[in-house]
Amino acid sequence: MTAITLDALDLSALLCSRVCHDVISPVGAIVNGLEVLEDEKDESMRGFAQDLIKKSARQASARLQFARLAFGAAGSAGAAIDTGDAEQVARGFIHDERTTLNWHAPRVLLPKNQVKLLLNLLVIATTTIPRGGVIDLTLTVEGDKGTFHIASKGINARIPQSVPGLLAGAPESGSVDAHGIQPFYAGLIARAASMSVDLTIEGDIVTILAKPQAE
């Protein structure tokens, strides 16, 4: 595999496409719900529409808050991020009827790239259990360096074929599109944070281990 480099314009465009992809569904549901409220006289249908709008608005807000930390600047250069804030947006992003997030981590300030990597690895963890399941995150901290152990367990757990290459910055296809930009970006963040990332699978459990590189 050959490592590739994206220029700043392509990287920003692909990340914007990713964020839009994440929020377009709940925003579209809000629009549909509002149209039902305008046209529908039946009270049960209006109640259904109101519930849909509330649920979709919460989902859109959660995804935008997550994207702000996982993909955005999240403070000035050199800033640290509270892992408690990371937990809050992670729970909002992952919360659904199929997937449970167990968060085992102290509340500390970590360099922003480490926290951004952690959130991006959680996104990858959700892709390893397409039918849902349980994601267990354990964070250990030594000084200003964190080690992340993420175990995702579910039916048909697997490591998506393209992810290891994208994380390494060397996709098998030789290019990156909007679908693959998130794991590619996670690899960029890992290297910026001087951390290694390894994915393994055993049975129905996929493990993601991110740790500081030896100096």
**Buried-exposed string 36-72: b where 16+ CB fall within 10 A, e elsewhere:** beeeeeeeeeeeebeebbeebeebbebbbbbbebbbe
- Which range is least confidently modeled, 22-26, 51-55, 78-82? 78-82
For residues 101 and 139, what is the distance between their CA atoms, to the nearest angstrom?
A: 13
Task: Break the chain into its structural domains and give their ranges.
Answer: 8-19+77-212
User: Average pLDDT, stretch 35-40?
Assistant: 84
> Is the CB of residue 119 less than 8 Å from the CB of residue 150?
no
38 pLDDT tier (thresholds 50, 70, 90): confident
Please give the model's pTM, rounded to 2 decimal places: 0.91
Distance CA 116, CA 36 (A): 39
* pLDDT exceeds cutoff 70 at 195: yes
Q: Is residue 115 packed enough to be buried (19+ CB in 10 Å), middle (13-18) or exposed (0-12)?
A: buried
Distance from C-alpha of 10 to C-alpha of 176, rounded to nearest angstrom: 10
8-19+77-212 CATH: 3.30.565.10
Residue 76 scores a pLDDT above 70: no
Q: Flag whether pLDDT at 106 surpasses 90.
A: yes
